Structure 1
Amino acid sequence: MRRSLDALVTHVATALMGADAASAREISEQVLGDVAGYFAVDASFLRRNDHAIRATRLVAEWPVRSADEAPDPLKLVHFADADPVFAAMEDFSEPTFIRPGPETSEYQRHIRVSRSVTATSVAAVPLRSGDVTTGALGFVKFGDRSWGELEVSALQAIASLFAQLHARIEAEERLRHVADHDELTGLYNRRALFREIDRRLSSDRDECIPILFLDLDRFKSINDYLGHAVGDEFLRVFAERLREQATAGDLVARLGGDEFVILPGRPMTTSGAYAEATRIRRAVREYVSVGGEQVIRTVSMGVALAAPGTATTTSLMRRADTAARTAKQAGGDSVTVLSAEMSAEADFRSDVEMHLPAAIAHDELLLHYQPEADLRTGRILAVEALVRWQHPGRGLLPPGEFVGIAESMNLAGALGDWVLHRACRDFSGWRAAGAPADVVLRVNVSPAQLVSTRIVGTVEAVLTEYSLPGAALCLEITEHVVVRDLDSIRYTLRSLQALGVHLAIDDFGTGASVLSHLKHLPVDVLKIDQGFVRNLGRNAADLAIVRAIISLAAGFGHEIVAEGVETSIAATMLLELGCHRAQGFLLYPPVPEDEMRALLVGGGDRQGDEPELPMERFRA
C-alpha cells in the first residue's frame, strides 16, 4: 500500500509542477478527480483562505460543476458566519475528520448527490505556509469512511504540494501586479493600459474604442511649493477619485507624472465619450486636504476614438494626448475631442519626429537659395540658404513645416550645422567657378546654436575647410532670440564678428523691445520683416513702420534689407524710402543649387551689364 501511495503522491507532484496561474484550476480539478478515485470517495474540494477578509474561497472541486447548475452557495464562506467545520478551516493545523452522526454540517447539507444519502464522512487537511493556514484540501464520502495512518500521511503530502502551488501562484500574481500597476497610486500602469488597448483594437467587433486622457493643470506648483511628498499624496487621492468615478469594466491607468488615462469598458460614440469626460472632469475637481493645505487642481482632458483596425495603440494614444494638450493650451479645465485637423497635425508631427533625425544624419535634406538683389540694377548681392526636406511620402517640405519640430526635439543644432556645412560647400564651389567675390552667403542660425559656445569654433572650422573669408558669410538671427537671450549671446556674437563674419537680425520689427538693445548689439544688417513689406502702398501703418526702420538703420550705420517684395508698388516705395537691397518673389524665388550656380556663374541676364530688373520694371 505504501508503494502505491508513494506513486499517487509522485503523480500529484508531477501534475502540479506543470501548473501556472492560467492552468491551475483545470489541473487541480484533474488531480482532485484522480485522488478521489484512488481513495474511492465521492467528492473532493480545494479551498484557499483569504485572511484579508477572513473567508475561505473555493478554488477547485470534483466532480466539476457544470454551467447549467445553480451557483455554489459555498463558493465564498466568511469564517465569522460559518458553521464549526468551516470556521475551523481558518487556522487549523492538523487533519480533521467528520464521521456520520446525528448532526450534519453546513458542507454536508449542500453536498450535491444523485441519490438519497443520510450518512456522510468528510476529511479536511490544512494547507500550510509556515505558521499560516492558507487553505484546505477536503474529501467527502457518502457513507462512512475511515482513514488509515498511511492514507492520512499521503493526504498531508498532497496538501503540502497544493500549498506549494498556491504559494507559487501568489508569487506570480504579486509579480504580475507589480508589473501591471503603478507603484504610487495602485492604478494600472502604461504597460497594462497599452496591452488592453492592443487587445481591443485587434478585435473584430465593429465598435468605437474611446480613450479619455487626463492631464492635471498646474500640478508642478504643488511639488514646487509644498514638496514632492505632498504632491505624491495629492496624486494618490486624485487616483482614488478616478477609481470612484469609473464604472464597471473601465480601466484606469497612470501614465506617469500627472497624466492619467481612462479606457471605458463599453463602446461609445463621440458625443457619449465627450459627455463621460465632462462628467469625470467635474467630479474630480474638488479640494484635497494634503500637507495641511486645501489644494484644488483642474484637469485638461482629451478624447480620441478609433474602431478596430483603423489605428494602432500608439497612434490612438497620441491623438488623445494631442487633444489634451489642446485643452491645456486653451486655458485648461476643459475637454477637447480630437478633430480631423488635429489628428492630421498629430500624425504629421509624429511622422516628422520619427524620420527627421535619420534625414539629417543620412544627408537626405537639400538647400534652395533665394537671391537678394539691388533694386536699382537687379544685381545679386547675397544669397540666403533655405533648407528643404524631400520627404519620401509627403513631397518637398518647406522649413516652416519641420524646423520648429526639430527645435522641440533638440535637433536644431544638428540641423543648423548641416545647413552651415552644405551651404558653405556649395558657396565655395560657386566662388571657385567664378561667382562674384562680393556676393555674400546668408545662413540662418537657430537659438540652440547661438546659446552654445561651440558655434564659434564650428563656424571657424567650416570657413577654414572651404577656404572662405569671414566676410563672405552672414549669419542671420531672429529678433525674438536677441530680445530673449541677449546677455547669453552677446559674447558669442562678438566672437563671430572677430572672425570677420557679418551678423543680421532677421524679421526685424516684430519685437519692439529689441530697440532698447540695438545700440549694444554687434550686428551689421537689419532685414525688415516681410509682414510690413507686402502691403506697402496699401497700408499706411506699414509704410510708417518701414520708414522708421530704414531711418533707424541709417542712424546706426546698418545695412537694410527688405524681405517679401512681391509687388512693383512695394519695390518702388522702398527705393523712394532709400532701401535698395531687397529679397522676394518679384525679384527671385528660391531655386535649387544648380540654378543658383547658373545665376552666379553662368553670366545670366540678371548678372550682366544690362540687368533684367531695371527701374522701369517696377513702374509698370
Structure 2
Amino acid sequence: MLRSRPRRRPGRRHRRRPATLHRSLLVLVLAPVVGLVGLMAYAVDDQAGRARAAGQAADAVRAAVALDAVRAAVAREVVPVLGQAVLRDPASATSVGVDAGTVSSLSVVAGPALAAQLGTVRAGTDEALAAARSTAARRTADRVAATVAGLRARSADGADLSVVFAGYQAVAADLTTRVGDLLAASRIAGLDDAGTRAVLDLRLVSRASALASVEVPLFLADAVRSAAGTAGTAGTAGTGGTGDRDAFLTAWGGYRNASVEVLEQASPAVRDDWLAATAPTAAALDAPLQAAALGGAAPTPAQLVGLTTANGTRDEALRTLVRATGERAVDRAREPAAAARRALGLLVGLCSLIVAGTLAAALLLRRWVAVPLRRLAEQARSVSDGDLVNVEESGPLEVRTVARGLAAAVDNLRRVRDQARAVADGALDAEVVRRPVHGPLGEVVHASVLQMVGALRERELLQEVLAHQASHDALTGLPNRTHATELVAAALARSTRHDGRVGLLFVDLDHFKTVNDTHGHAAGDELLRVVAGRMAGALRGGDAPARLGGDEFVVVVEHVDDEARLVDLGTRVIAAVSAPVELSGRHAGVRVRVGASVGVAVSPAGGGSAERLLLEADAAAYRAKAAGRGTVAVFDDALRRDIARRTQLEGALRAGLDAGQLVLHYQPVVDLRTGAVRSVEALVRWDRPGHGLVGPDAFVPVAEDSDLVCEVGRWALSRAAEQLAAWDADGGELAGVNAAVNVSGRHLAQPRLLGDVALACAGAGIVPERLTVEITETVLFDEPTAREHLRALRALGVRVALDDFGTGYTSIGQLSRLPVDTLKIDRSFVASHEDAHTDLVRLVIGAAHSFSLGVVAEGVEEAGQLEALRAADCDAAQGFWLSRPLPAEQLAAQLSATAAAARG
C-alpha cells in the first residue's frame, strides 16, 4: 500500500537550500561543456545550411543560364519571321524606302536563306527548352514551350504579324524577368564574394545579351508596322508606328548602356570575352541601326539580310558567352559548400580541445579557490547590497588580487557616494567634492564630478542668458516680437479681472531706409539703438516698449481711460524720435534724422485678442503714413470697415481665381523704328460677377498684402505663355511676339519663382527668351533676394524689365549694376510738357543705350509724344494712342485688320 506525502501547511513558504560552491563549480564545469556541445550542434547545422544554400544558389544559377538560352533562342526566332514578312510584302518594303521590284527579285535569293535560318533557330529553341526542363525552371520551360508552339501555329496560319510579334516579345520579357529573379535569389542564398562577383558578371552579360537580342526584331517590327500603317486606309493609318519605334529606341539605347556597364563593372576576363563576342558583328549591325535610330533611315534589302545574319551571329556568340559565364558562376557557387565542410571538421576538433581544457581547469579551480572565493563572494554580496564593508584579503594570489581590487573599489565608492551626496545637497564647493578619487578610473570619475558641477553652474547661467535672448531683441535690448505678443496677451488677461482696457501704440519709423541706403547698415543699427533709448525715456514707468523687427516698435499701455492720453503719448514719442542723431564711428559727426508715424488701438473693455489688437494698431499706423507721416492715427470704425472690406475682397478674389474669373488683356508694344508689334504686355483683369470687369488697382493691393498675389502671378505667367503658343499656332500678326508679365515683390522673393517661370514656358512649349518679367524699382531695394533671383531668371533666358523707371530710388549711375535688360519710362514723364522732363527722357534713353539696355516708353496718348520719342531714339512705346489693352481675340483681329488695310 502506497503512502501519500504529508501536505505542507498553508502559508508556510518552502525554502530551497542555497547552492554550495561545490555545486556551483559543478555547474560552472557543465555549463560550458553543454554550451560547447550546443555550439557544435549549431555550427554543424549552420555549415550544413550553408552547404544547402550554396547548392540552391548553384541550382538557381544553372536554371538562370538555361532560361537565358531559351530567351536568346526565342529572340532569334523573331528575326527571320520579320525578315520574311518584309521580303514577302512589297507594300511593306516600299513603305520603308525599298523598291518593290528590288524586293521581289531579292526574295528569290534571301527567301530560302531566311527560311533555312528560321528552321535552324526553331530547332535551337526546342533544344534550349529541352535543356531548361532538366533544371529547377522546368515549369517555366513547359509554359514557354506551349506559348511558343501557339505562336508558331498562328504565324503559319497567316495571323496578324503584330499579334505574333507581341507574343514573342511577351515571352522574351517574361524570360528576362525570370532570369533576373533567379540570379537575385542566388545572391541572397548565401554566396561568398567570388560567387557574388561571378553572379554579378552573369547578370550584366545576361541583361546586355537580352537587350541585344531584341534590337533587330524591334527594328524590323517597326518597319513592318509602319508599312502596314502606310498601306492602310486613312481611317486606320498611324495605328502602329509610334509604340514600336519607341520600343526600338529604348532597346537600342538600353543595349548600348548595358554594354558600357559590362565594360565598366564586369571582371576583366568577362570584359575581354564580351569584346570578342560583339566586335565581329559591330560594323554590320551598328551603322544601319544607328541610322534608323537617329535619322529614321530605312534599311536597304541587302541590309535587311545582313541584319538578320549578323544578329544571329552575335546572338550565338553572346549565348556562348552567357553559357560560359554561367558555368563559372555555378562553379563559384559550389565552392562555399566544400569550404563549409572543411570548416566543420576544424570546428569539431577545436571544440573538443576546448571541452577537455575546460574540464581540467574546472578541477583545479575547485581544489584551490573554493574557500577563499566563497568568502570573497560573501563580501562582494554585501557590497552589491549597498553595504560598503571592509574586504579581507586571503586565498590564492589571484583571489587576493581580486580582494585588493574590491577593497580599492569600495574605498572609491565611498568617496563617490560622499561627493554625490554633496552635489545633491547643492554643496558644490564642499571639501569632499574637491577630494580626488584614487586610481586612473577614480581620476576619470572625479573629473566627471567636477565637470558635472561646472556644467550645472554653466547651465544655470546659460538658462538665464537664453531666456533673455529668446525674448529680447539683440540690437536694442527691447522685448522682441514674440515677447511683445506675450506682453499684450498678459496685459489683456489682467484687464479682464477689473474690466479695464489696454492700449497699443504701433510706431513705424519714417525715412529709416534712407539712412540705411546712404550711410550703411551699421549707421542704421546705431540709429535704432538711439531711437529705442529715446522711446523708452518718453514713456511712463508702467508702459512696455518692444521692437517687432526692422523699423517697427510697439508700446503696451495698461489701464487706459481714454484715447486722448494715448494720442498725447504718441505725440511725445514722435517728438523724441524725430530729434537729430549724431552718429559715431566712421560716420562720426554726421547728423541724421528720422521721423515716426504712430497708430493707436484700444482693446474692448474686459479683454480681447493680442493678434487683433496688433492688427488694428498696424492698420492705424498705415493710415498715419498715408496722411503724410509724422502723425498719430487712431483705429476707428472706418478702419474696421476697411479691414473687413479688404478681407471680404481677398476672399472673393481667391474664389474668383479658383473659378477662372481672372482674364488677361494685352497691350501691344510697338517698335518705333519699324512700326511693328514686337511684344505685348499682359495685364490682369477680374471679370467679377455682379461688378463687371474690375481693374488691377481695385484688387492687386489687397492681393499684395497676402500670398494670393503669388498665385495670381503664377496664373498670369502660365496663361500668357499659353496665349503666345496659341498665337503661334494661328499664324496671324501676333505669331512670334514676346510677352511681358508683371511680377510682384512678394512673388519675386520666393525661391520657387524660377520654377514657376520654367514650368509656364515648358507647359506652353515656348522658349524662355520670349518671356519678359516686369518689376518695379522699389522691389530691387525692398527684397534682399530680388537681384539674386533676377540673375537666375536671366541665366534661364528670361528678360527683365524695370517698370516705372524714374519714380523710385534708382539712379542712372546704378544702371550698369542692375540685373535688367529693359527700362520702361514712367508715363508721368512721357505725358509731361515740361522741358525738364523732356530732357530727362532723352537722358534716360541715352544712358540706357550706353549700358546696352532697351527702352520702352509707357502711356503714349498723343501723336506729338510719339514723334518726340522717335526723335529721342526711343526703342519702343505703348499707350492708348497705339492701342488700348484688349482681350487676345480682339487684339489679334485689330492687328489683322490694320495689316489688311495697310496692304490694301
Give the TM-score normalised by structure 2: 0.35
Structure number with bigger Rg: 2
More helix by proportion, 1 or 2? 2
> Structure 1 or 2: larger strand share?
1
The TM-score, its normalising length taken from structure 1, stands at 0.48
